Amino acid sequence: MVNLYFQPDAQLTPQDRMVLDILQKDYDRHKKASGNEQQPSEDPDDFGQKQARFDSASPEDAEEAQEQALAHMKELNNPTSDQFEPTVFVMVDYPNITNPILRKYIIEPYVRWGRSAVRVDTDVVMLTHLLLYLTTSIPSAIYLFYNFHWWHGPLHSIMQLYYMGSYTLMMHQHIHMRGILNKAYSAVDLAFPYIMDPLMGHTWNSYYFHHVKHHHVEGNGPNDLSSTIRYQRDDVWHFLHYLGRFYFLIWFDLPRYFLRTRKTELALKAGACEIASYAFYYTLFTYVNARATVFVYLVPLAIMRLGLMIGNWGQHAFVDETEPDSDFRSSITVIDVASNRYCFNDGYHTSHHLNPMRHWRDHPIAFLAQKSTYSSEHALVFYNIDYLMITFSLLAKNYEHLARCLVPMGDQMNLSIEERAELLRSKTRRFSEEEIAAKWGKQFARLK
């Protein structure tokens, strides 16, 4: 792979490497065709700062290479193909487990059983995670309530913090696909979220009601309770207001939203689940073990709600001023390690909004297949940065770093680093109520 401005992370998934390589070669051909081919030292701000060569393949060769990459990724996802590769662990790819004894007597038997237990053959990793939580999170929580130690409580919370990202995106697949295990394990599939969600900082069913029944319906528009459009997305105080409202009022705002949109049944269910969750915490804190409740349930709840808002802010920080209701222009794509390797391709957020039912392993395929549309729609693609650091970079107004992490597509290829930074800055401006009325309709604006 040709080097980018930042060296691509060695832990990128194979699919991410293929996608990033194709995007980089597109940029190389554009620079060469436009007569801007140069040595790396001539422009330290250029996207190709570390390049030692430019790809000389013709557009026809590039199209063929892209088709080959698409075909290969499809084969990796196809259980009937001899190239099929299930995801078994997030930290290591299945082909990289090469010890013959380990593979023959442990890994391959486990994969055979795992494929029979999960709903989609690629998703053995989700069974792996369930077993991991069953043997670590649950026993640790039980023992804290049985015999609390001050050293154990913080360590348990730290362990849960490490698990939260992967678990939440596994549940993201669960709520969109209506489960992750096959019908033979339907009882387990139905029950485990009620045990694990509170341990990971989620109140019962709140992720489903907010994300599936609300966020994807409103799509970051003015009626979305987690919408970013009324905020200046590089302002710390605006972010704190955004965070505080979610922290303290979402239990009330979400049922009220469902009532306002005449979805009474959802309002009652969402409200009941929130109240039941808080009653559960109160009961454990007051009558069982206050110290254990803090570290097992309340600390994860506080961390998770912070993480959800930091993530959503980064996912929807850049909103196009011309077509803010376009999924291509109100969400982003991130090619990085944390979002994609450990969190089930969560970086392909635009792809997810385009098709919320799309399986997580299909996002890189869908992105490559629609690459020309992403380009013509002025979509934003980043690498070497995750949503957490996008939010932090915005709040620090570090647009130059964000510009260096941008993978330019289409017209963006003609921009300097400074121009890319200004482009990104222009997408973080808050929308006035008059603009909201003009773009979405007067019924969504808070006009006086």
- pLDDT tens for each residue of 368-426: 999 999 999 999 999 999 999 999 999 999 999 999 999 999 999 999 999 999 999 99
pLDDT at 301 over 50: yes
Give the number of other CB atoms < 10 A from CB of residue 55.
18
Q: Which of 213, 442, 410, 222 is nearest to 324 (CA)?
A: 222
Give the number of other CB atoms < 10 A from CB of residue 131.
12
- Averaged pLDDT for residues 316-339: 96
At 5 the three-state DSSP class reads coil
pLDDT at 36 over 70: no
Specify the range with the lowest mean pLDDT, choosing from 52-66, 90-104, 347-361.
52-66
Instruction: Look up the pTM and report it.
Output: 0.93
Alpha helices in 54-209 (DSSP H): 59-77, 100-102, 108-117, 124-135, 137-146, 152-177, 186-199, 206-207
Q: Would you state the pLDDT for residue 31?
A: 84
Specify the range with the lowest mean pLDDT, choosing from 35-49, 143-157, 375-389.
35-49
- pLDDT tens for each residue of 240-299: 999 999 999 999 999 999 999 999 999 999 999 999 999 999 999 999 999 999 999 999
What is the C-alpha radius of gyration for the chain, rounded to an integer number of angstroms?
23
pLDDT at 40 over 80: no
Q: Would you state the pLDDT for residue 34?
A: 77
Q: Which two tokens stand for residue 388?
A: 């957490």
Burial 103-128 (b: 16+ CB within 10 A, else e): eeeebeeebeebbebbbbbbbbbbbb
- pLDDT tens for each residue of 11-34: 999 999 999 999 999 988 888 887
- Averaged pLDDT for residues 326-344: 97
Q: Would you state the pLDDT for residue 58?
A: 67
Q: Which of 245, 242, 253, 234 is nearest to 430 (CA)?
A: 234
pLDDT at 172 over 60: yes
Please give the share of the chain, as a percent, with pLDDT higher than 90: 87
Q: Which positions ≥6 away from 187 have C-beta within 8 Å?
A: none
